C-alpha cells in the first residue's frame, strides 16, 4: 500500500534531495549550525508541501502547495550556492544537490502550469 504522492517521480527525486541535503548538512562546519538547520528544514518542506498538495482535492489548493514546495526548493538552492561560495562543502555534493533541485523545480513548475491550464480551461467552458 502506498500514498498517492509516493508514486510521483518528483517525490522520489525530492527524497533523494532530502538525503543529499542531510549529507551536506552533516559536512558543514559546526559553527554553521544555522545553515544546517535551514537546509534540513527547507528540504523537508519540499517533500511535505508536495505531499500535502497531492492530498488536496481543490485545484487551487494543489497549486498553492506545489508553489510552496517549489519555493522551498529554490530556497535550498540558495543555501547550496552560499555553501559553494563560502567553500564550506565539497563541490561534488553541492553539484549533486543543485542538479536534484533543478529537476524538482522543473517538474513542479510543469505540474503547476498543467493544473492552472486545466483550471482555466474549465472556467472558459
DSSP per residue, 71-88: HHHHHHHHHHHHHHHTT-
pLDDT in tens, 26-71: 999 999 999 999 999 999 999 999 999 999 999 999 999 999 999 9
- The model's confidence at residue 118, banded by pLDDT at 50, 70 and 90, is confident
- The model's confidence at residue 109, banded by pLDDT at 50, 70 and 90, is very high
| d(C-alpha 125, C-alpha 65), whole Å | 26
The whole-number pLDDT of residue 112 equals: 97
Describe the chain by its helix, strand, coil percentages, rounded to 5.
Answer: 85, 0, 15
What is the average pLDDT value for the chain, to the nearest integer? Answer: 96
The whole-number pLDDT of residue 4 equals: 95
CB atoms within 10 A of CB 119: 15
Q: What is the pTM of this model?
A: 0.93
User: Is the pLDDT assigned to residue 77 strictly greater than 90?
Assistant: yes
Amino acid at each position: 500500500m502506498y500514498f498517492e504522492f509516493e508514486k510521483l517521480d518528483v517525490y522520489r527525486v525530492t527524497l533523494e534531495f532530502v538525503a543529499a541535503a542531510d549529507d551536506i548538512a552533516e559536512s558543514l562546519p559546526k559553527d554553521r549550525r544555522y545553515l544546517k538547520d535551514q537546509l534540513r528544514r527547507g528540504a523537508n518542506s519540499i517533500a511535505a508541501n508536495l505531499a500535502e498538495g497531492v492530498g488536496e482535492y481543490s485545484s487551487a489548493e494543489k497549486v498553492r502547495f506545489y508553489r510552496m514546495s517549489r519555493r522551498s526548493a529554490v530556497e535550498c538552492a540558495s543555501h547550496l550556492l552560499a555553501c559553494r561560495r563560502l567553500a564550506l562543502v565539497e563541490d561534488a555534493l553541492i553539484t549533486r544537490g543543485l542538479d536534484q533541485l533543478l529537476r524538482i523545480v522543473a517538474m513542479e513548475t510543469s505540474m503547476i502550469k498543467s493544473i492552472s491550464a486545466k483550471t482555466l480551461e474549465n472556467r472558459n467552458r
